[in-house]
Structure 1
Amino acid sequence: MNDIERKIVEDLQNRLNITFFKEELLFEALVHTSYYNEQRQSGRVEIRSNERLEFLGDAVVDLLICEILYKEYPDLDEGMMAKIKAAVASEEVLSDIARSLKLGSFLFLGKGEEKSGGRMRNSILADTLESLIAAIYMDLGYEKVKELFWERFRFYINEVLEGRKLFDYKTALQEITQKRYHVIPEYALIRTEGKGHDKVFFVEVRVKGETYGKGIGKSKKEAEKKAAKEAYEKLVRDREDNTGFPSLRGM
């Protein structure tokens, strides 16, 4: 790290009231790919982007949310726990938490990403929060992650339970397919039946051309929501069975 980078890393530690044993790990958590690419092009070979930490952080966030749900909400069944976890692990919530920590102020971005407003972009903030959580997990342990983030995530769980944050299957489905498979779901209107107020829409949602959900509704939007719900629930079931998207293996 250079002096400017080290100062930013120290400022974030002060804000979080933590001290890393390996400050380089925290620095790595803050390095967006745009900054990494610029630095590599200038000949800086030792720098790493936060993508690997983001991958780990995704799993740590899931674990934390699941533990909170299991320990603090004993009356919730498995299905409801899965839905709440998906809502709380969403880009919207993760970026909210990142903003509450002013994490955008500590990011290392490339010049182009900086100019385009990357410090405020939900996807970048959410990914950086996951990277930060992974860095804390690796350097200071899971107990420190819980100390810093348990109450923050529990707040959003309560928001979902009390209806202030509604579960959106279309958003949840898109986030998980983008993050894990680098594709977005496609909705296809198969047919309509009836006329006027009695019209019914039949929709399918596809991933890489394969149908994962079907929906029927009085509007195209309603049918898409139902198709997304079916696809999302299938994805969750398959993931729990360690099967994932059969057609996407090897991507």
Structure 2
Amino acid sequence: MNPLEERMGYKFRNGLLLAEALTHPSISLERKNYPFDNQRLEFLGDAVIQLVVTEHLYRLYPDFSEGQMTKLRTRIVSRPALKAHAVLMDLGRYLMMGRGEEASGGRERASTLADAFESVVGAIYLDGGFDAARNFVLRETLDDFERIAKNPEEVNPKGTLQEILQAIEPCAPAYEVVEQTGPDHSKHFVSKVIWSGIELGRGEGLSKKQAQVAAASDALDQRLWLRKDKRSGTAASV
């Protein structure tokens, strides 16, 4: 196994699938005849993750309504959550991408890392079947299920974040749009959440509200406020 496969706990029989999963679309801008990128695997992996998480929630919470399970699933498969798993796997380090994309911070971009995680799941599904993909997804997301079971209020990321922060210092987090792209009928927003002079997280979405929710989710995953909390000696619920 190579180091990434060891971290994943999965050995590929077809190494080309892993190579494809780790190939960012920007590579084709500089290598015109490059044979593949990870967009198709991302599409497949997204569907596999949705099914695995949905099935596990269905079995884990037999008394939950459809609405309750939908809220939990949304939290578990959110872009910030998938990005956090990719960071733990150090996926950004292994990505093949164009020099321009890399120079603009592509290896750390939330959407790129979340897409890469989905692509890896898609590659495992094709290489080893559904059981292998399910085992990988559940192994990576187990902590998410447990944390949300203990703190179901986290399905409201903005409210949860504000409650945690105001227990440390009586000032609310602020959200700022840092990037806005696309035509009027199909805007794409990137927002950041700032509190006490610290950027806690970033998120993307098709509206300002979606981007703010994603930024709050990213902040909850990173928990950067703990650094200030430790310096001040204040106790906060996390």
- Quickly name the TM-score band, shorter chain normalised: 0.5 to 0.7
Structure 1 CA distance, aligned partners of 2:153 and 2:96? 31
* Structure 1 counterpart of 2:58: 70
Q: Give the one of 30, 35, 45 matched to 2:27.
A: 35
Cα deviation 1:53-107 (Å, max 9, x = unaligned): 1111110010011011011221211110011111111101000111111111111
Structure 2 CA distance, aligned partners of 1:141 and 1:50? 18
Could you list the runs of 4 or more consecutive aligned residues of structure 1 that deviate by over 4 angstroms after TM superposition?
A: none
Return 5+ residue gaps in structure 1 as ranges: 1-8, 171-177, 187-206, 209-220, 229-251
Larger radius of gyration: 1
Label 1:46 to 1:56 Cα distance change in 2 as closer, same or farther (>3 A).
Answer: same
Shift of 1:124: 0.4
Structure 1 CA distance, aligned partners of 2:59 and 2:23? 34
* Structure 2 counterpart of 1:149: 137
Are the counterparts in 1 of residues 4 and 89 from structure 2 also a CA contact under 8 Å? no
Identical columns (%): 36
* Structure 2 counterpart of 1:84: 72
Shift of 1:13: 2.2
TM-score (norm: length of structure 2): 0.63
Q: Give the one of 4, 23, 31 matched to 1:12.
A: 4
Cα deviation 1:206-248 (Å, max 9, x = unaligned): x89xxxxxxxxxxxx9xx79xx9xxxxxxxxxxxxxxxxxxxx
Return 5+ residue gaps in structure 2 as ranges: 159-180, 190-205, 214-238
Amino acid at match of 2:88: S
* Structure 2 counterpart of 1:101: 89
Shift of 1:157: 2.6
Cα deviation 1:24-55 (Å, max 9, x = unaligned): 11101000011232221xxxx35211001111
Structure 1 CA distance, aligned partners of 2:147 and 2:112? 23
* Structure 1 counterpart of 2:100: 112
* Structure 2 counterpart of 1:183: 186
Deviates more, 1:85-94 or 1:154-163: 154-163
Are the counterparts in 1 of residues 23 and 37 from structure 2 also a CA contact under 8 Å? yes
Amino acid at match of 1:16: M
Structure 2 CA distance, aligned partners of 1:183 and 1:166? 28
Higher RCO (C-alpha 8 Å, min separation 6): 2
Query: Are residue 135 (structure 1) and residue 123 (structure 2) matched?
Result: yes
* Structure 1 counterpart of 2:44: 56
Are the counterparts in 2 of residues 64 and 146 from structure 1 also a CA contact under 8 Å? yes
* Structure 1 counterpart of 2:236: none
Are the counterparts in 1 of residues 41 and 119 from structure 2 also a CA contact under 8 Å? yes
2:31 counterpart SS class: helix
Are the counterparts in 1 of residues 124 and 133 from structure 2 also a CA contact under 8 Å? yes
- Figure out how many residues of one structure are paired with residues of the other and give that number: 170
Cα deviation 1:161-218 (Å, max 9, x = unaligned): 3337723589xxxxxxx9xxx93489xxxxxxxxxxxxxxxxxxxx89xxxxxxxxxx
1:95 counterpart SS class: helix
Are the counterparts in 2 of residues 160 and 166 from structure 1 also a CA contact under 8 Å? yes
Amino acid at match of 1:33: P
Structure 1 CA distance, aligned partners of 2:39 and 2:117? 12
